[in-house]
Amino acid sequence: MSFEWKSDDNAVYTADEGSRVIYGDGFDKLLGFSFTMDALDCELNLKINADSDCAFMWPVATEFSESKKTNINVQNGTLVISPERLTPVGIIGKTGEKGNRVYITVNDGAVLKIKDIHMVTHEKEAGRCDWKVSGDLIMNGGSYDSTSAFKLLEGGCWTLNQEYVNLSGDFVIDSSSVNDFGYCCLINAANLSLVGIESVENDGSFFIKGNSKVKISIDKSPISEYAGEVSIEGWVILQDKAKLTFSSFKRDSDINISCGFELRKGTTELTFGEAGKPCPIIFDSSDVKSGRYKGIFNFIHNQVDGNGGSLVFINPADNFFDLLIKGDYININGAPATYKKDYLAYPFKQGGVESVVVALKQ
């Protein structure tokens, strides 16, 4: 009997089915029911019919249940979820009805592709979307606005190419694997929001650790006049040998930072800008009076671990260095740091690219 998607069963798609395309008005799962993809070297493509406006609801529920779980497991093979055709409004994928969570797992070697779908939290009292990714998670087109508890584990790669990305919840990135672009996590968006909710083990809203290499790129939007908006309302934290590159197509991309960036133990590297693009963050002489960006870069330092982390600003504005050392932008353990006494900053030029580097005084 060939495989059929049903909302009220615990289904397993195996290699016996081969690679298939299945059409449907939506691919829901009722609370307490799950789906497992276990088909090595096979691809299952779930195609949402052209006249449908909802790709899936995970789970469908009329009430909250602590004991009933809904799991979407991609153990082997490739699972693709996409609409039959694009529409001006777009198609929605909903998660977390009535406070219930959906648990999504992508195993090492497996692939989950979500294409041209606006993935959203269903309602205000909705539960989270819990991710554990040690394979490949690829989100192209659409948007992501689903409250999440997200863990990218060793072996995992996460690629987002979307118009609007709202990472609301807690995200832990801990993978030394890299995609074709050289990163374990690559986010390309026209509008980005990072919002911390509960803080996983007090690690903040976006925690990058181990040997993880992450790039967040804010690029032009072909359809939105608001392209370049960035809001950081939780802490972005780096630890160990983690590297984060923050890139944008324009200076000061309407960045609103209410928390900031924290460099913990290790030789972390936080870079703003890249060759061919301007430094996306700028300082102004009024910043000290207004408190804008005050203490947004916080180094955690103790006598045992020290801190070999660095900030790198590529292609900064002409007055960037002077404003940096005169402002209150650098903290150590939450307290204001002083240039030359506590930290060093120096401009340098390599290959025609000008940069400013900041590191603690050792």
Characterise 274 by phi-psi region: left (phi > 0), alpha (psi -120 to 50), beta (else): beta
Phi/psi of residue 297, each to 5°? -110, 110
Instruction: Phi first, then psi: give them for residue 180, nearest 5 degrees.
Output: -65, -15
Match 């691809």 to its residue by tokens: 43
Distances (CA, A) of 105 to 11, 74, 181: 15, 6, 23
* pTM, two decimal places: 0.92
What are the two backbone dihedrals, phi and then psi, of residue 262, each rounded to the nearest 5 degrees? -120, 125
User: pLDDT (tens digit, 0 to 9) for every residue of the chain, 362 residues total?
Assistant: 589 999 999 999 999 999 999 999 999 999 999 999 999 999 999 999 998 989 999 999 888 898 999 999 999 999 999 999 877 667 899 888 888 889 999 999 999 999 999 998 766 556 678 999 999 999 999 899 888 889 999 999 999 999 889 888 889 999 999 998 899 999 999 888 887 654 444 445 799 999 999 999 988 766 665 567 788 888 899 999 999 999 988 776 567 787 889 999 999 999 999 988 889 888 887 776 677 788 999 999 987 888 999 999 999 988 899 989 988 899 999 999 999 999 999 998 888 899 999 999 98
In DSSP terms, which residues pair with 150 in a beta bridge?
A: 131, 171
The pLDDT assigned to 86 comes to 78
Q: Rounded distance, CA 137 to CA 111, Å?
A: 6
Q: What local confidence, expressed as pLDDT, does residue 196 receive?
A: 66
Name 279's Cβ contacts closer than 8 Å, sequence gap at least 6. Answer: 251, 272, 273, 313, 314, 315, 316, 317, 320
CB 58 within 8 A of CB 35: no
First-to-last C-alpha distance (Å) of the chain:
68
How far CA 50 is from CA of 23, 88, 231, in Å, comes to: 10, 12, 34
**What pLDDT, on the 0 to 100 scale, is given for residue 290?**
74
CA atoms within 13 A on the CB side of 266: 18
CA 254 to chain centre: 19
85 to 27, 166, 342, 361: CA distances (angstroms): 16, 24, 57, 56
At 88, phi and psi to the nearest 5? -60, -35
In the numeric block, the tokens 């903290």 are attached to: 331
